[in-house]
Each structure stands twice: as C-alpha cells, then as structure tokens.
C-alpha cells in the first residue's frame, strides 16, 4: 500500500474526469466528515478514510485483499481502468447520465450495450464518447459506460442502434463475483 | 626414565636391571613394526597409502579419538617404512630418496586445452586440399653460388642490397624504383600483420559466437532489441541535464534510467500535504483546455482553406517565402483552428 505518484494521480484523475468533473474530484479528496485518501495496493486504487487506511496498514501486503472502496486498477501499460465498485462515488457526482427504460434494464444488467429503443432520457449536451452513468428511470444507478452518440445524434438514431457502450454494471456483482477485485 | 637400581647394603654394588630399562624405552617409543592382516596399497610416487583393512566397529566405538589416532599413526608408519626401503643418497647433511613414478591416476585439475581454431590460410588449404610439404630452410643461390635462406633476412629473394634496379616498361621513368620496392615491402609487412591480428581475433572465444549470432538473424531478436533500447537510453540521457529536460517525441517512451530507483512517497506520510498535491492536480485538470475533437472535425474546413490559400497567394506575390516561413504559417493556421475548437470544461 502506498500513495499514488503524481503521474499515477494524473492518469487516475483524467479517467475520473470523464465521468465526474474535476470540481467533484476535489470534493472526494476534501471531505468535511473525515480525512479521505487514495491508496495504491496491488495496482488497484482504493479510496478509504485515513482511519481505515491506517488500520489496513497493519496487514502484510500479501494478506491484504481490500480496504475502503476499490476505484479500479492500473493496467500493465499504465492506463487506468475503472471498476464497478467505483459507481457509488461516481453516480452522485455524475455530470452526464443516461436513463434506461424498465424493459432495457435487464439487458444492460446482463452486460449489453444500451440501445436507442431502451433509452428513456439522456443529459442534454452529451457529446460523443463521453463517460456517462447509466440509471434506471427511478434514478437507481445501474452502471456506467461511454456514449456512442451525442444527444443530437440520438434523436435521429435508429431504434436498434447503440447509444451507450457498456463498461460496467451492477450485474457484475453476481456475474463476476470471484474476479471483482 | 624411571631408575630401577637396587642397592644392597652389604657390598654397595650397583645392579642395573637392563630389562626394565628396555621396557621403559619401548613404552616411550612405539615400535616401527606395524602388523596388518590385509596389506595396504602404497603409491610412493604420490606418497599415498590406501588401507584396505576393515575397521573393527567395537574398537572404534570404545574410544573413537584414540582408535582413529592409532590407525593414522600405524598407516603413516607403514608409509615411512616403505620409504626407508628405497635406496638413499647422502647429500651433505641430508639423506635423499628418489621417489618412484606415481601409479595412481589423479584427475586433471584443469580441462584439456581446446585445439586452436584454424587460421584463414589453414581453412583455405583444407578446403582446397593443399598439403604442407617439407622444404629445407636453405636454398642454393645461382647468382652467388652459395646456400642462402629461403626467406627472411639475407634470403635469396632479398633485393635490398641491389645497387641498381630495372625500370619496368610501363612504369613512370622518373619514379624511384628503390622507393617503390621499399613501399611494397612495407605494405606486405602491414598486410601480414593485419592477417595475423585477424587470426588472433578469430581465435578469441567471443568472436565466433558473435559472428554466428549476427549472421542471418533479424534485428527483432531480444539481444538486438536490448541494444536498441540501450542506444535510446543513452541518447535520452546524453544532454547537459542528463536527460532531465529532454523532450520526448510523441511516440517515444521515457525509459527509466538503469540503476536509479524510483522514490515513492511514504504511506504514513503527511496526509494533508498529500491531499494538497491531489487537489493541485485536480485543479490543473480543471484548467486544462479540452480539445473537442468532434467539434474540431465538424468545423467548416472549406472556409478555413479558402482563407489560407488566399493568404498564401498574397504573401507569395509580395516576397519569396522560405520553407521555414511556410511551415510557421501552417502552424499558425493550425493554432487558430485549435483555439476555436477549444472549450473549457467549465463552460459545459
């Protein structure tokens, strides 16, 4: 376990900034309730309060599986990949959202892309390839992905065309339970 | 030595018991005679004795130190007895013994030297089937009617003492033929020296391996790639700042310097300052202009082009434009295009 280097922090924040604005990233760091921090452990980035981090620090590197919330991991090529578990922090601060109709929820939770026919609402001024949070119509966050089309294009799109590329969904908690972390 | 004299009061004669003296002596010095059931093998050349007699386990267990000492003494005595059987020589104060040739074959310390790899000529001769023939060192010189060496100093072919030289028909008449001969000899010597050195080089161990490795293999081998990586590393760090301020090309990777360990921040450091650094990075991200690629692509390129071409034509009419000036012009136009496509994330 160690703090992220400047370079790693930059890569990580750049990825986060695709879903939540840099302003909100600052909110994650500067919290009024407690001191929170990001820590790197086994190439994974964990977000935890200082207290939990210090407690977890007592465990050997090999024995420690997880602490706090896992945001994602650094790939071997140095890129950052967000994990499903980060959704809890992404959803409240999300800038761009996509709402899925009840009939499309299941399809998305099975790991499929969001189709135009399943699209309920979309944030205005969503550009192409923008990181978006996928919500159900009752505002329950289901996962996140990348917009395949801008809001303008969505209006004219074919019902069977893909609107949002699937990246992660809460169904993963069941589907890939063993390899989640 | 224990004195074993007996004194009789009557005649005060001293009687010495010889037996007891001898016994005492024998107790002090052990006998040189050693008895063995099985004769040991002795190789005097190596001063070696191999005791084939089985060890009595009971005797050994009773007192291991003493029995081993006894065994060692007996065997050494045997060896020395054998040495004494050899003819001796008196040399001043010393007695010398000539040891026989060793019979036991001892393993060689170093490996057998490898045969020298053939020289270039030997290779050629083998390929052509040329065999060495024995030639005498001296040959008969017809001119002087004496025997002279075949080559080298004062040889038959040595013409350095000639006082006159023929000028060949096709040669320049003003050329110094003595000088030509001297030069030719120098060149021959130099050529031979070069060939000699080449043969040595070929004989060097690594030469063949290197040659074989580079032969017929592409630059995609691991060794070749490592060489390339090393070259890049050297190039990156060969600046006044040792590569600290070296600009990295778009596709280039910043290679980590060998032997320099990266220093990571401590885990239990100051969380506040760490947070400050994180906030700073987030701030920079907020301020960084984001290039909206779809917007940039969808900008009206015809208009831009038209402007540019107009501008270009105009400037061409006024003065001759160098290549560099044109380049900077192009950069400028790109910049304007980019800045119009840039939007701060805050605007959204």
All domains in chain A, ordered by first residue: 6-85 (3.10.450.220), 96-177 (2.30.130.10)
Query: Is it the case that residue B345 has pLDDT exceeding 70?
Result: no
Query: Is it the case that residue B198 has pLDDT exceeding 80?
Result: yes
Asked if B124 and B91 sit in the same domain, the reply is no
User: Does A29 lie at the interface with B, CB-CB under 8 angstroms?
Assistant: yes
Per the structure, the complete domain to which residue B198 belongs is given by 120-162+173-214
Q: How far apart are CA B206 and CA A91, in angstroms?
A: 64
User: Does B275 lie at the interface with A, CB-CB under 8 angstroms?
Assistant: yes
Residue B127 lies in a domain: yes
Mutate to test the interface with A, among B267, B276, B292 (most CBs of A within 10 A): B267
Total domain count, chain B:
2
User: Does B279 lie at the interface with A, CB-CB under 8 angstroms?
Assistant: yes
CB atoms near residue B43 (< 10 Å): 18
Measured in angstroms, the CA of B282 and the nearest CA of chain A are apart by 6
In sequence order, what are the residues at sequence separation of 6 or more whose Cβ sits closer than 8 angstroms to the Cβ of residue B12? none
Q: Which residue in this structure is represented by tokens 């002090």?
A: B28
Residue B287 lies in a domain: no
Position B1 scores a pLDDT of: 43
In sequence order, what are the residues at sequence separation of 6 or more whose Cβ sits closer than 8 angstroms to the Cβ of residue B74? B34, B36
Concatenated DSSP letters for B132-151?
-----SEEEETTTTEEEESS
Residue B143 lies in a domain: yes
Nearest residue, CB atoms, A9 vs list B269, B272, B278: B278
Position B346 scores a pLDDT of: 42
| A and B: number of Cβ contacts within 8 A | 66
CA atoms within 13 Å, Cβ hemisphere of A2: 10
What tokens were used for B94? Answer: 């010393």
User: Does B268 lie at the interface with A, CB-CB under 8 angstroms?
Assistant: yes
Asked if B125 and B74 sit in the same domain, the reply is no
Q: How far apart are CA B89 and CA B152, in angstroms?
A: 52
From chain A residues 88-117, the ones with a CB under 8 A of any chain B CB are 95
% chain B with pLDDT above 90: 25
Mean model confidence pLDDT for chain B: 78
Lowest mean pLDDT among A53-67, A92-106, B9-23, B82-96: B9-23
Asked if B58 and B140 sit in the same domain, the reply is no
Q: Which residue in this structure is represented by tokens 């599986």?
A: A65
Lowest mean pLDDT among B8-22, B115-129, B184-198, B304-318: B304-318
For chain A, how big is the Rg over CA atoms in Å? 17
pLDDT per position as a tens digit, B117-154: 888 899 999 999 999 999 999 999 998 899 999 988 88
Measured in angstroms, the CA of A6 and the nearest CA of chain B are apart by 8
Position B192 scores a pLDDT of: 94
* Arithmetic mean of pLDDT, B302-325: 45
* CB atoms B267 and A95 under 8 Å: no
Band (B294; pLDDT cuts 50, 70, 90): low
Lowest mean pLDDT among A43-52, B175-184, B321-330: B321-330
CB atoms near residue A62 (< 10 Å): 7
What tokens were used for B54? Answer: 């089985």
pTM: 0.47
Mutate to test the interface with A, among B265, B274, B276, B281 (most CBs of A within 10 A): B281
Q: Give the residue from B97, B130, B151 where a domain finishes.
A: B97
Position B329 scores a pLDDT of: 45
Q: How far apart are CA B146 and CA B292, in angstroms?
A: 100
Position A165 scores a pLDDT of: 94
Position B340 scores a pLDDT of: 44
Band (B216; pLDDT cuts 50, 70, 90): low
Residue B257 lies in a domain: no
In sequence order, what are the residues at sequence separation of 6 or more whose Cβ sits closer than 8 angstroms to the Cβ of residue A83? A44, A70, A71, A72, A73, A168, A180, A181
Asked if B151 and B75 sit in the same domain, the reply is no
């Amino acid at each position: 376990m160690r703090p992220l280097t400047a370079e790693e922090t930059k890569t990580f924040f750049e990825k986060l900034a695709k879903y939540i604005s840099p302003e909100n990233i600052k909110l994650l760091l500067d919290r009024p309730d407690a001191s929170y921090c990001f820590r790197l452990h086994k190439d994974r980035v964990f977000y935890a309060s200082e207290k939990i981090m210090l407690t977890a620090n007592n465990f050997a590197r090999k024995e420690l599986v997880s602490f706090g919330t896992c945001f994602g991991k650094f790939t071997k090529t140095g890129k950052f990949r967000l994990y499903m578990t980060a959704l809890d922090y992404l959803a409240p601060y999300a800038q761009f959202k996509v709402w899925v109709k009840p009939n499309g929820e299941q399809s998305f939770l099975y790991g499929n892309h969001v189709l135009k026919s399943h699209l309920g609402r979309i944030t205005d001024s969503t550009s192409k390839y923008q990181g978006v949070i996928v919500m159900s119509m009752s505002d329950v966050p289901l996962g996140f992905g990348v917009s395949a089309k801008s809001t303008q294009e969505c209006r004219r799109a074919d019902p069977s065309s893909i609107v949002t590329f699937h990246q992660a969904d809460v169904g993963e908690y069941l589907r890939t339970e063993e390899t989640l972390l | 030595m224990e004195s074993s004299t007996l004194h009789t009061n009557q005649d005060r004669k001293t009687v010495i018991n010889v037996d007891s003296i001898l016994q005492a002596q024998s107790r002090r010095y052990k006998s040189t005679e050693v008895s063995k059931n099985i004769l040991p093998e002795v190789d005097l050349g190596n001063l070696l004795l191999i005791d084939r007699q089985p060890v009595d386990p009971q005797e050994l267990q009773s007192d291991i130190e003493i029995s081993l000492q006894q065994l060692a003494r007996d065997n050494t005595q045997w060896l020395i007895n054998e040495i004494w059987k050899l003819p001796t020589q008196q040399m001043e104060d010393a007695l010398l013994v000539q040891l026989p040739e060793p019979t036991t074959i001892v393993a060689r310390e170093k490996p057998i030297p490898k045969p020298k790899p053939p020289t270039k000529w030997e290779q050629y001769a083998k390929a052509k089937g040329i065999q060495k023939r024995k030639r005498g060192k001296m040959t008969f010189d017809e001119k002087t009617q004496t025997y002279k060496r075949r080559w080298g100093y004062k040889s038959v072919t040595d013409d350095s003492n000639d006082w006159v030289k023929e000028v060949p028909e096709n040669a320049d008449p003003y050329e110094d033929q003595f000088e030509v001969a001297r030069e030719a000899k120098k060149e021959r010597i130099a050529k031979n020296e070069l060939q000699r050195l080449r043969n040595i080089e070929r004989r060097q161990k690594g030469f063949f391996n290197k040659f074989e490795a580079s032969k017929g293999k592409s630059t995609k081998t691991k060794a070749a790639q490592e060489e390339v990586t090393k070259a890049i590393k050297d190039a990156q760090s060969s600046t006044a700042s040792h590569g600290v301020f070296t600009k990295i090309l778009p596709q280039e990777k910043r290679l980590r310097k060998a032997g320099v360990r990266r220093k990571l921040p401590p885990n239990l450091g100051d969380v506040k300052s760490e947070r400050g650094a994180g906030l700073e990075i987030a701030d920079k991200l907020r301020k960084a202009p984001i290039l909206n690629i779809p917007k940039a692509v969808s900008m009206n390129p015809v208009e831009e082009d038209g402007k540019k071409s107009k501008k270009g034509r105009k400037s061409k009419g006024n003065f001759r434009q160098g290549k560099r000036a044109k380049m900077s012009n192009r950069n400028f136009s790109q910049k304007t295009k980019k800045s119009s496509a840039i939007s701060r994330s805050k605007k959204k």
